[in-house]
């Protein structure tokens, strides 16, 4: 199976190849939200595909494809969702498919649709699983000699975030107001955050619920993941610095997090498995795992000033993650905490070893000590009003390319009362 077998033209280097088939929620002029898959520059409307009868053998209620969110579809389980994906791949590479005959009916160009939040996110957890990122932050905020806290190599450190403020790519985010302690002062002040930052992350969507009290082993954890999206976990570093002791991030993090619209399934990511970084010291038995649990996903961050050109300011990779998704799920459920379909779990900022692979401005500018030069001549230490931050991600192996598209967000000025 190759892109050229597909009867819908797929542009060279498209993220949405025949090997991908990611799921999303879209609407067009008739405004009803429904489930689609992306192929090249087109969206295949699954509510219309279902009417052709190609899903009949699955014995599902076809009304599930006309839906505000993917949650009920995902809840059908991988036994169904993986078949929907392979049926679509088969039909798209078969010239005589009924979908080809009905192509005007089932395929819509991306320029005439609007994307929406793919899932209803009930709960959101963010980890802190990149050793390079945790080390950089530890050096800056605490102790250059002992950057990692004693628990870091033993626990996939995380915190519960706020699901209500997760927004889709394209939705503008406003600079938050808040309380900060200016350098050298003893009393806090109130005003717009002066240190707005992005966090280059990936998030995964839980595809199978657990009951309260259940635990999930590292061996079974991936069965609970439906797929992944790009994730920009917006952060206000000055608010964070003042508020985070003793309970961790609060208002510095919950004003917005942005996601890409297409959920790339775990099945599509299968060819891109790689070995995990060596964990030293050895982890406790419930966190040990076997097999290749990291994924080679190239990531980049671009910054585009208002009316300016974009500059790529970081290139990283999801494979650098010290703690993998299986370990995160095993840890998250080890106390019996339950997971629901649609829950979103963030990786934490994904930084690499080299300075041009850091996943946040606070690392790239080393706490504001360095400036980042942009192609248009401007300089940045943090994000300015009207800047757009764009994150992209893709996997490549031989002729197979599977990508995530992008999450692109413009920062608006603070709203002063
Ligand atoms: Mn984060």
The predicted-structure confidence for 239-263, as pLDDT tens digits, reads as follows 999 999 999 999 999 999 999 999 9
Q: What average pLDDT does the structure give for the chain?
A: 97
Expressed in angstroms and rounded, the spacing between residue 175 Cα and the centre of ligand 1 is 17
Same domain as 139, residue 109: no
The last residue of one of the domains, among 65, 86, 116, is: 116
Same domain as 216, residue 88: no
Same domain as 162, residue 94: no
pLDDT band with cut points at 50, 70 and 90 for residue 416: confident
Selection from 362, 84, 388, 65 nearest residue 227 by Cα: 84
Expressed in angstroms and rounded, the spacing between residue 273 Cα and the centre of ligand 1 is 23
Question: CATH number, domain at 363?
Answer: 3.90.850.10
Same domain as 152, residue 51: no
Expressed in angstroms and rounded, the spacing between residue 198 Cα and the centre of ligand 1 is 9
Selection from 29, 7, 1 nearest residue 86 by Cα: 1
Same domain as 220, residue 346: yes
Residue range of the domain that includes 185: 124-412
Residue 400 has pLDDT above 80, yes or no: yes
**pLDDT for the residue numbered 22:** 99
Residue 361 lies in a domain: yes
DSSP bridge pairs for 408:
390
Expressed in angstroms and rounded, the spacing between residue 301 Cα and the centre of ligand 1 is 15
Question: CATH number, domain at 33?
Answer: 2.30.30.230
**pLDDT for the residue numbered 362:** 98
Residue 148 has pLDDT above 90, yes or no: yes
Residue 314 lies in a domain: yes
Expressed in angstroms and rounded, the spacing between residue 130 Cα and the centre of ligand 1 is 11
Residue 52 has pLDDT above 80, yes or no: yes
Expressed in angstroms and rounded, the spacing between residue 346 Cα and the centre of ligand 1 is 7
Same domain as 134, residue 107: no
Residue 346 lies in a domain: yes
Expressed in angstroms and rounded, the spacing between residue 349 Cα and the centre of ligand 1 is 6
Provide the token pair at 323. Answer: 């703690």
Expressed in angstroms and rounded, the spacing between residue 127 Cα and the centre of ligand 1 is 7
Same domain as 331, residue 218: yes
pLDDT band with cut points at 50, 70 and 90 for residue 104: confident
Residue 260 lies in a domain: yes
Same domain as 103, residue 11: yes
Expressed in angstroms and rounded, the spacing between residue 219 Cα and the centre of ligand 1 is 26
The last residue of one of the domains, among 116, 147, 175, is: 116
Same domain as 328, residue 219: yes
Residues 6+ apart with CB under 8 A from 26: 33, 34, 36, 43, 45, 108, 113, 114, 115, 116
Residue 239 lies in a domain: yes
Expressed in angstroms and rounded, the spacing between residue 253 Cα and the centre of ligand 1 is 8
**pLDDT for the residue numbered 294:** 98
Provide the whole-model pTM: 0.98
**Tokens 């619920």, located at residue:** 209
Same domain as 81, residue 191: no
Same domain as 27, residue 147: no
Phi, psi of 367 (to 5 degrees): 70, 20
Residue 30 has pLDDT above 80, yes or no: no
Contact 209, 313 (CB under 8 A): no
Residue 417 lies in a domain: no
The last residue of one of the domains, among 116, 135, 156, is: 116
Residue 92 lies in a domain: yes
Expressed in angstroms and rounded, the spacing between residue 94 Cα and the centre of ligand 1 is 43
**pLDDT for the residue numbered 141:** 82
For the question of residue 133 being annotated catalytic, the response is: yes
Q: How far apart are CA 173 and CA 409, in angstroms?
A: 7
Expressed in angstroms and rounded, the spacing between residue 111 Cα and the centre of ligand 1 is 31
Expressed in angstroms and rounded, the spacing between residue 18 Cα and the centre of ligand 1 is 32
Domain count, the chain: 2
Same domain as 324, residue 231: yes
Digit-coded pLDDT (tens) for 312-370: 999 999 999 999 999 999 999 999 999 999 999 999 999 999 999 999 999 999 999 99
Residue 273 lies in a domain: yes
pLDDT band with cut points at 50, 70 and 90 for residue 103: confident
Among residues 19, 42, 109, 133, the one annotated as catalytic is: 133
């Amino acid at each position: 199976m190759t892109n050229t077998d597909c009867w819908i033209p797929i542009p060279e280097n498209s993220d949405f190849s025949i090997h991908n088939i990611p799921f999303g929620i879209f609407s067009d002029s008739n405004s009803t939200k429904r489930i689609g898959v992306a192929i090249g520059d087109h969206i295949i409307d699954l509510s219309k595909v279902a009417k052709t009868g190609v899903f009949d053998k699955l014995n599902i209620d076809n009304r599930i494809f006309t839906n505000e969110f993917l949650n009920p579809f995902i809840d059908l389980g991988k036994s169904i969702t993986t078949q929907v994906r392979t049926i679509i791949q088969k039909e798209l590479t078969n010239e005589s498919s009924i979908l080809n005959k009905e192509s005007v009916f089932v395929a819509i160009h991306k320029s005439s649709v609007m994307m929406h939040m793919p899932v209803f996110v009930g709960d959101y957890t963010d980890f802190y699983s990149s050793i390079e990122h945790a080390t950089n932050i530890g050096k800056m905020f605490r102790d250059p000699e002992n950057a990692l806290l004693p628990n870091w190599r033993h626990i996939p450190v995380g915190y519960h975030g706020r699901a209500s403020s997760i927004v889709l790519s394209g939705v503008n985010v406003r600079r938050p107001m808040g309380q900060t302690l200016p350098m050298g002062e003893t009393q806090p002040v109130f005003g717009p955050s002066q240190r707005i930052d992005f966090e280059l992350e990936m998030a995964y969507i839980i595809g199978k619920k657990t009951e309260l009290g259940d635990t999930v082993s590292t061996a079974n954890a991936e069965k609970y993941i439906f797929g992944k999206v790009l994730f920009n976990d917006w952060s206000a570093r000055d608010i964070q610095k003042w508020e985070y002791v003793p309970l961790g991030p609060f208002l510095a993090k919950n004003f917005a997090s942005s996601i890409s619209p297409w959920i790339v399934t775990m099945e599509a990511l299968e060819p891109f498995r790689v070995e995990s970084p060596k964990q030293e010291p050895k982890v406790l038995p419930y966190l040990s795992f076997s097999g290749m649990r990291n994924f080679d996903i190239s990531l980049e961050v671009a910054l585009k000033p208002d009316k300016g050109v974009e500059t790529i300011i970081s290139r990283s990779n999801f494979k650098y993650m010290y703690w993998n998704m299986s370990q995160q799920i095993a840890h998250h459920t080890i106390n019996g905490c339950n997971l629901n379909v649609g829950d979103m779990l963030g990786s934490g900022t994904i930084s690499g070893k080299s300075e041009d692979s850091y996943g946040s401005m606070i690392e790239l500018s080393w706490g504001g000590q360095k400036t980042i030069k942009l192609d248009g001549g401007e300089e940045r230490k943090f994000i300015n009003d009207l800047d757009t931050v764009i994150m992209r991600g893709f996997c490549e192996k031989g002729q197979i390319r599977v990508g995530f598209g992008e999450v692109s967000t413009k920062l608006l000025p603070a709203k002063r009362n």
